[in-house]
Amino acid sequence: MLGERLSAVVLGVIKEAVRADEVFAELVRRDPDWYGYWDARLVDLARRRIWAQALPGISQVIARGNNASLHWNRLAALQAWSGDRRGLRESCRKILAMYGSANGSDRYQVREVVYACLLLPDTVDDLTPVRKLADVGITASDPNASDHHSFLVMRALVDYRAGDPGRAVERLEAISLVADDRWAYLGRIVLALAQFQIGRGADARQGLNRVSEALRQSRPRIDRGQQYGTKYWQDWIVPEVLLREAEELILDSGFPADPFVHGGH
């Protein structure tokens, strides 16, 4: 117990220290092979929504040896948010090579791999392994779990990316997407995209307007000192990436775009 408390204290000190550029640079100089300083710096920047500066940090974390699926997922999320399509395609190729045969024992790992490869159109040439993982995730998730809808949303997004928006609409309209969480928001955005593709433009615009406002109201307010969660900040990027895609496809050019999605703070 004492060891755990000391570790928590040390980690807290590191997280505060890496905020100072000079201290961070000196720590890395003294121990260039350890990923911990980069990881702490990454989390600090990401929680404060300084995502452009966080991208080099996660690249360094992976380069220094911490290549868990979570870290690859974070890299993919930041690449998608910044529009780095080439980098995202390469990351997804590596993610599928390492984790594409996941058996569902870690359902969150499965979800991380799936949505990393679905964030932007045409990220992978063959969606078959992504589809299989999405099905594994649904099977591995408890239908009564509070986040079970996240796996169903991922499966619908596979359908949409595979060119079957009608099936995506069927899946999404069959589940509840009223929860005040990022996965419900993501599902509502994918639903709007799919509805638009099957000719239900009015439904798509109405749904997109509502989810855009809901997302705007629910995410952390940086201007009030709020921060994104330590573990799940990257999950907030996902709805924003898809929202940007939906706005560009569905809304008229004169519609006021979400400033966060389009580079605002």
- How many residues are there in the chain? 265
pLDDT in tens, 164-195: 999 999 999 999 998 888 899 999 999 999 99
Domain assignment of residue 108, yes or no: no
Q: What integer pLDDT is reported at residue 2 of this predicted model?
A: 36
pLDDT in tens, 87-124: 999 999 999 999 888 888 888 889 989 989 999 999 99
Q: Look at the chain and report how many structural domains it folds into.
A: 1
Domain assignment of residue 46, yes or no: no
Given a contact cutoff of 8 angstroms between Cβ atoms, the answer to whether 241 and 80 are in contact is yes
Q: How many CB atoms lie within 10 A of CB 173?
A: 12
* Residue range(s) defining the domain that contains residue 232: 141-265
Give the C-alpha distances (Å, rounded to integers) separating 92 from 38, 66, 134, 176: 22, 17, 15, 29
The chain-wide mean pLDDT, for the chain, equals 87
For residue 245, how far is the Cα from the chain centroid?
A: 14
pLDDT in tens, 112-161: 899 899 999 999 999 999 999 999 999 999 999 999 999 999 999 999 99
Domain assignment of residue 193, yes or no: yes
Domain assignment of residue 241, yes or no: yes
Domain assignment of residue 89, yes or no: no
Q: What integer pLDDT is reported at residue 260 of this predicted model?
A: 62
Domain assignment of residue 53, yes or no: no
pLDDT in tens, 187-207: 999 999 999 999 999 999 999
Q: What integer pLDDT is reported at residue 5 of this predicted model?
A: 42
pLDDT in tens, 29-43: 888 888 888 888 998
- CATH code for the domain of 198: 1.25.40
Taking alpha carbons only, the member of 166, 172, 165, 169 closest to residue 151 is 172
Handedness of CA 247, 252, 253, 257 (dihedral sign): negative
Taking alpha carbons only, the member of 149, 133, 130, 145 closest to residue 191 is 149
Domain assignment of residue 80, yes or no: no
Q: What integer pLDDT is reported at residue 3 of this predicted model?
A: 40
Q: What integer pLDDT is reported at residue 262 of this predicted model?
A: 57
* CA separation for the pair 179, 224 (Å, rounded): 24
pLDDT band of 27, cuts 50, 70, 90: confident
Share of the chain above pLDDT 70, in %: 89
Given a contact cutoff of 8 angstroms between Cβ atoms, the answer to whether 242 and 193 are in contact is yes
Domain assignment of residue 199, yes or no: yes
pLDDT at 263 over 60: no
